[in-house]
Amino acid sequence: MLGLLALQDQTDNVNTGLSREVIFACTNRIMYQSTERSISDDNDTCSVCLDDYSDGQIIGSVDCHHTFHFDCISQWLMQKNSCHLCKRIALAI
Say which CATH number the domain at 93 has: 3.30.40.10
Does any domain span residue 6? no
Does any domain span residue 11? no
Burial of 48 (0-12, 13-18, 19+ CB in 10 A): middle
Q: How far apart are CA 41 and CA 83, in angstroms?
A: 20
Does any domain span residue 85? yes
Does any domain span residue 52? yes
Number of domains in the chain: 1
How confident is the model at residue 37, as a pLDDT? 58
Does any domain span residue 7? no
CB contact set of 55 (below 8 Å; sequence gap of 6+): 32, 33, 34
Q: Structural domain of residue 77, as residue ranges?
A: 16-93
How confident is the model at residue 16, as a pLDDT? 86
Selection from 88, 83, 85, 57 nearest residue 71 by Cα: 57
Q: Note the pTM of the prediction, 2 decimals.
A: 0.77
Q: How far apart are CA 67 and CA 47, in angstroms?
A: 8
93 residues of the chain, pLDDT tens digit each = 555 545 555 555 556 899 999 999 999 999 999 886 554 455 799 999 999 999 999 999 999 999 999 999 999 999 999 999 999 999 998
